[in-house]
Structures are given as C-alpha cells and as structure tokens.
Amino acid sequence: MMHDPKARAATLPGLALGLALLAGWIVGWRVLRDAADEFAPATVAAGLLAWVAAHSAFCRRRPALVAGLRWGGYGAVALGVAAALSLGAFLPPAVADWVSPPLGRFGGFAALGLLAAFLALAGPAGFLRGPRGPVLDAIALAGFAALWVRRQVERQLSFPTPPTTVEELTPRLALLAGLALAGAGGAAILCWRERRAFAADYPYREWPGAVWRRWLWRWAGAFALLGLATGLVAGAAAWAAGFGALALGLLGGWLAMAWPPRPAPVGAAVLRGAGWALPVLLLAGLVYFATTEDLEVVLLRNTVERRVLLSWPGVTGGGPAAGRPTGALAGAVRDAAGRPLPDASVVVADARGRAYSAVGDAEGRYRIEGVPAGNYLPLAVAAGHRQGGAGGDRVATVRAGRTAGGVDFRLQPAPPFAIATNDSLRLEPPAEVVTDYPEPRAIGRRGFTFARDGLTLDGGLVHEPLPDQGPGPFPILLVIYPGEARDWEGVSAPLAAQGFVVVSYFPRRLLDLEGDLADLRLLLSLTLDGRLSPRGDPGRVALVGGSVSTVYTYLLARDLEGSPARGRIPATVQYGGLFDFFAFRRSWEEGQVVIDPGISALEYLLVAFGRPDTRPELYLRLSPRYDVRPTNLPPTLLVHADRDSIVPVDQSILAAATLAQREIPHRLLRYPDLEHYLDTSKRDPAQLDMLTQTVAFLREWLGQEGR
C-alpha cells in the first residue's frame, strides 16, 4: 500500500480521520454507556470491526477512508488493551474516565480473548498478510494474558494475599517449565520432519511447517527465560539453575537445528533471538506488573500509581467527588443458596475514602442514594458471611440522576470458630516483677511462644496475680498490642495488679493479615483452653486492642459469631482504635492525620494499599462500622484522646454512634488533654482515671476477680 502514490497521499488525511473516529467512539461511549468493565472489550471490538471494514470493496476505492479506519482501529485496539491492563490508573482521573478506566481490567479477559480469537481467525479469512510468525506470537501473548488477567481479577477479592514465597511460586514455575519443555519437544519433532521432507518436496521454497517450528522454539525460550527471571527474583536457586540450564539447552538446540543447513553466524543468530525475546519479555513484564495480585507487586504498583498521579499538575489522587452530580445504586444481597440476607451492608467509596453505604431490608434489598457519578467496585458484608463483591465483573457504573440497578451479591458463609489447639505452646520459667502504679505490687510474668504453619511465634507475655491476691481464677484479658508486648508492659502490669490475668501479644506476620488472624485464633483457642495460665478463668475473657491493633479484636469478635465460645467473651476494650478505615483514609488525605517518624511505615502502607475506589477490599475488612452486630460484638469500652493526631477521635465517636444504633452496650471515655499513646502506667490523673474506668468496666461485665 505504501508503494501506491494514492495511498501515500491519503496517509495524513487518514490519520486525521482515524483520530476523529476514535474520538467519536470515546465520546459516544461516555455519553451512551460509560461502563468501566465493558470499555475494554467494546473498544477492542470496535477497533477490530473498523479494521475489517477497511478491507471492504467500498472502502478499498477510497484510500483516505481505508487509512482512517485502519488508524482508528489500531488506536481503539491499543486503548482497549491498555484498559484491559488498567493502565488508566496512571493517568489523571479526569482523563482516565474517558480513555482508559482504572477498573477496565475487569473486562480484560473478554478484551484480550477477543483479540486473540480475531487474530487466530483473521489469517484464514484473508485479513492478514505478511509473516505469520509475529501474528502467532501476538495470538499467544493475547491468549496467555487473557487467562492471566482473569485469574488476577478473581484474586483481588482476597487482598491482601499472603507474601509471595517459593512454595507459592512452585506451581507457577512448574507450569512454565512444562510449557517450555513441551514447546521445545514440539519444535524438535517439526525440525525432524522438516529435514526429512525438505529435499524431496520443497527444494525451492520454505517448508510450510517451519513457521510453527520457529514459533514453538521462540515460546519455549520465552518460558525458560521467564522462569529464570522468576527464580532469580524469588531467590529460588534450584529453580533458577534449572531454568538457566534449560535456556542454554534451548539456545544450543536452536542453533543446531537452524535451517537452512548452513546457518548464519552464531552472533547473528543470537542477536535475532534477542530481537524477539526482548519484546516478549518486556510485554510479559508489563502484563505482570499491571495486573498481578502478588502482594509485593501490588504494594509497589499502588505506590508508583500514587506518585505518578501526584506528578500530574493539579492532580491529587482522584479529586473530590462531592461536586459531581449524583445517582443511586440498588440491588439485593443473598446467601450462596439464593436466600435473602437481611441487614447486610453494601459499600462503595471514592478515591479519597468517602464511603457511601446502605443496609438491606428483610428481603435483602438495598439502595444507596447520593452516590457521585462514576465507576465503583461495590462490596457487601453480612453477619456470619464473608464479605464479597457483586456478581459478574463486580464493577458498577453510576450515572447522574439514574439508578444503577441489579447490582446483586451472593455471599459465602464464614467458617464457624472452633477451639483447636496444638502442642507447640512453650512457657518460660515464671519470674516476679513489681509495678508501682497505682501502688507498689508484685506480679508474676512469663514469656511464651507457640507455632503455626511452620513459624515460631514469640514475644508473647503472661502477667498474672500472685497467690497473695487470692486463689483465683481471675478473668483473662487477651491484649493485642500495636508493638512488642515487652514495650507495653507498663500497661499490662497495672491491669494484672488489679486482679486480671493479662495475655499480651504482637502479631508477627505484619502484611499477612489472614496469617495473623489464624495465629490469633490459635492464641485465643489456647487461652480458652486454659493453657496459658492456671490462675485464669477461660470462661471470662475480654479482648483488648490499642491503636491500629483494634482491628484484630473486631475481626476476632466477628469470627466468634455463632460459636459456643462467643459466650465466653463478655467484653472488649478499644484504646484509641480504628473503626472505619475509609474515614481514616479520608482524614489522612485531608491532612488531619499526622504520622510520627516512629510509625512512618503506616503512611507508606496507606499509599501501598491503593485507592479506596479501585482497591476497597482491605478498607472494608478493616472497617467494623459496617458489620458490628450484638451477635458478634460484646459490650465495648471505647477510650480515646481528643488530641490524638494519629487516629482521630472521630473514629471512636463514630464507633459509639454505631454501637448505639445497633443497641450494643458500650461506654465512650474521652480525654481532652491526652495524645495518641495511651499508657496507664504514666503518673497522670487522666491516666489513673483511665485505669480506674477500665477496671470498673471489666469488673462490671467479667465479674470480680477470684470468683
């Protein structure tokens, strides 16, 4: 076509027409549909249709129209693929909403699968001319990317996934090794057939199967190099060595089997190999980085996304949504069997953390009013069930003045809590320590360790009254601290001196939320089984948390719902705690949260966890506000300092209002002159009052010590 003077003359007008067609498609989509999860497949389909239309007899007589359809088709396919990988998350939000919605990857499987299917059919249909090798490569890349994106979209609901380990990567590495060996074997068979058939049947032209042989060999090498890179990054020395040997073997075999019999010099052959390997690896790396749910990469991607957005002039990570025109969201929440789930909560949030929610009625129906127009990832949570996303692709599009209906949920039941212990508990020899607050008294102390899933969990402490305080048994406080238990002994010791057995622990797995919760469930089981202190009463246990660790106490309480063990947890205490992680994110975005250098990792995590509109899973998980019920939260004492700049007092005010609405017994203690780090060991009238009030609340609900 480029040798045709008419075609060359039509290039610039065709480019202008193509841009106009692409702009018309974007505007039409935005006006008429604007559904983020459908943007990628619809745009890819539009681009492919334009490309097919360019081959029609009507268009072939009009070179400018042919060029315009082709340029517009190429642009549409590129936009669709970019949306399928959610690359729009790195664009200014106002731009991304038009050309590449950040939630576009929820339609990524359909978009990439459609592209792969079209390329596979276009050759036989006569739409593709030229070398077949690049087309086969594009088919393979699009097909593998479609399957990969689909799996990662399914994984997002369970964010945060556990940190990636070699054991978790092993199935992936084994698959790469199998594909590499299969490709190499297929290429070797084709080469053998080629050598047998060439001299007799194809003396003057290439054997038809040669393109398949080269294609299999290229992808066998690509899989070997991907496995080598994965093994090196993961620190899997054995896998890396195996893939390195495989890659060298494939290179040697390729050179040995090269056709014609007098191959080009080795240097030229290697350069040609690098020529195809480098683009494939770069594209595979882009697909992986943009879509994977491996925890470390998700945190890095979200951090990069935040920094890129802040680099755009006038962009602050999403922009306020309050000024947009609003619509509504409606649907129903049901269980796995299709029965209505009454009293379920459905939540959506904007990029800054402003959440919009509603509680379903007796038939499970809900309606959220006043939602700013835009694309959302709605989530639901109900008593006794795991939180989950809407059916289909989970993305909901709200348009001004309209109701996005049919956004329905089916939630899976949560497994019931059951006391299950193991023999890993190790108690250190007992020792005595003296606390002089509020008055001098000796108490017992011993450290403990336990193990689960191959990890020894240390740092736990037990403080208990000595025999001179009575025979017991004493109520037990299971305290989950936001730091090492030994650093908070000044809080544990005065509570033990008041007649409580205090079991304190700091979760060890950090970013592995599910792992930490499983550890805490085991620790709670050991406590309820009476294994940690013979002086404690396992029938009277209170859960106590402080600062960000309060989310663990809420999640543990939720796990107890429906379990016989629930009746043995008659109270909880929350010191300066989180109650709505969406609201906490909004306070941070608005500058109301000041994180001191000692816990600077918290600010990094707020960025790394991602935007609440596109990554709401963890935000809802850490927001008890939407799921507290009398059946899963016992009477609660809320303690907060008004001058707290790390976790604003608004969190406890909101908690008190929610507990009152849910008719859960509670008390809210506010101290106007204290800051975030509440410590009952400090010699301060407010701290002494805090200790006195805490003890009074616990005795009210747990009973007197030594009963």
Please check whether residue 114 is in contact with residue 81, taking contact to mean a CB–CB distance below 8 angstroms: no
pLDDT band at 539 (very low <50, low <70, confident <90, very high): very high
- What DSSP string describes 87-104? GGGGS-HHHHHHH--TTG
DSSP single-letter state for residue 257: H
- Please enumerate in sequence order all residues whose Cβ is within 8 A of that of 351, keeping only pairs 6 or more positions apart, or say none: 93, 317, 318, 319, 321, 611, 612, 613, 614
Sign of torsion over alpha carbons 137, 138, 141, 142: negative
pTM as predicted:
0.90
What's the mean pLDDT when you consider all of the chain? 87
- What are the backbone dihedrals phi and psi of residue 208, each rounded to the nearest 5 degrees, phi first? -60, -30
From CA 671, how far away is CA 691, in angstroms rounded?
12
**Residue 647, helix vs strand vs coil:** coil
Q: What percent of the chain has pLDDT over 90?
A: 58
Q: What pLDDT sits at residue 201?
A: 58
**Confidence at residue 538, expressed as pLDDT on a 0 to 100 scale:** 95
**H-type alpha helices, 545-580:** 550-559
Q: Which CATH class is domain 426-580+623-702?
A: alpha beta
Mean pLDDT confidence for 34-50:
93
pLDDT at 676: 78
Buried b (16+ CB within 10 A) or exposed e, 217-233: bbbbbbbbbbbbbbbee
pLDDT at residue 262 in the model: 47
Asked whether the beta carbons of 493 and 433 are under 8 A apart, the reply is yes
8 pLDDT exceeds 50? yes
Confidence of residue 206 (pLDDT cuts 50, 70, 90): low
CB count in 10 Å sphere of residue 564: 11
CATH of domain 326-414+582-619: 2.60.40.1120
- Angle at the Cα of 246 from the Cα atoms of 244 and 247, rounded to 5 degrees: 65
8 A C-beta contact, residue 673 and residue 686:
yes
Residue 680: pLDDT band (50, 70, 90) is: low
Contact (CB, 8 A) for 85 and 98: no
Among 185-199, 470-484, 517-531, 681-695, the range scoring the smallest mean pLDDT is 185-199
Torsion sign (Cα): 468, 472, 477, 478: positive
Q: Are the beta carbons of 48 and 118 closer than 8 angstroms?
A: yes
Rounded CA-CA distance 482/497 in Å is 22
Of the pLDDT bands very low, low, confident and very high (cuts 50, 70, 90), residue 197 is low
Q: In this predicted structure, what is the pLDDT of residue 361?
A: 94
Residue 205's pLDDT band (cuts 50, 70, 90):
low
Q: Judging by beta carbons within 10 Å of its beta carbon (0-12, 13-18, 19+), is residue 165 exposed, middle or buried?
A: exposed
Residue 107 confidence (pLDDT): 94
Over 70: is that where the pLDDT of 9 sits? no
CB-neighbour burial class of residue 549 (10 A; exposed 0-12, middle 13-18, buried 19+): buried
pLDDT value for 21: 92
d(Cα 571, Cα 482) in Å, to the nearest integer? 20
Stretch 260-270: mean pLDDT: 51
| pLDDT at residue 211 tops 90 | no
| Tokens linked to 441 | 């008294």
Structure tokens at 267: 């240097």
Q: Are 351 and 321 in contact (CB under 8 A)?
A: yes
Beta bridge partners, 375, equal: 397
Helix (H) or strand (E) run with residue 435 in it: strand 431-435
Helix (H, G, I), strand (E, B) or coil at 514: helix
Q: What are the structural domain ranges in the chain? A: 7-156, 168-293, 326-414+582-619, 426-580+623-702
Query: pLDDT tens digits, residue range 339-349?
Result: 999 999 999 99
Q: Enter the tokens of residue 438.
A: 């509020």
Cα distances (angstroms) measured from residue 419 to each of 427, 475, 571: 20, 19, 19
CB 330 within 8 A of CB 367: yes
Taking only the tens place, the pLDDT of each residue in 585-636 is 999 999 888 887 777 778 888 999 999 999 999 999 999 999 999 999 999 9
The type of residue at 698 is L
Q: Torsions phi, psi of 664, nearest 5?
A: -100, 125
Beta pairing partners, 410: 334
Is the CB of residue 153 less than 8 Å from the CB of residue 105? yes
Candidates 240, 222, 241; CA nearest to 230 is: 240
Q: Is residue 463 within 8 Å of residue 699, measured between CB atoms? A: no
What's the pLDDT tens digit per position in 292-339? 999 999 999 999 999 998 888 654 444 555 568 999 999 999 999 999
Question: What pLDDT score does 329 carry?
Answer: 94
Position 430 scores a pLDDT of 92
Distance between CA atoms of residues 644 and 635, nearest Å: 24
Q: To which residue do tokens 């008419």 refer?
A: 6
Residue 91 has pLDDT above 50, yes or no: yes
Q: Where are the alpha helices (DSSP H) in 157-265?
A: 166-201, 210-234, 237-257
Three-state secondary-structure class, residue 582? helix
Q: Which of 97, 100, 127 is nearest to 111 (CA)?
A: 100
Task: Give 630-647 pLDDT, tens digit per residue.
Answer: 999 999 999 999 999 899
Q: Regarding beta strands 326-335 and 403-404, do their DSSP bridges make them parallel or antiparallel, or are they unpaired?
A: parallel
Specify the higher pLDDT residue, 418 or 252.
418
Give the helix/strand (H/E) hosting 115: helix 108-125
- The Cα 441–Cα 612 span in angstroms is 48
Instruction: With residue 52 as reference, give the H or E element that holds it.
Output: helix 36-53
**Range from 141-150, 217-226, 423-432, 648-657 carrying the lowest mean pLDDT:** 217-226
470 versus 571: the higher-pLDDT residue is 571
Return the axis-axis angle of helices 63-84 and 11-32, rounded to nearest 10°: 50
Token code pair at residue 362: 């007796």
Q: Which of 83, 102, 104 is nearest to 317 (CA)?
A: 102
Compute the distance between CA of residue 96 and CA of residue 370 in angstroms, rounded to an integer.
23
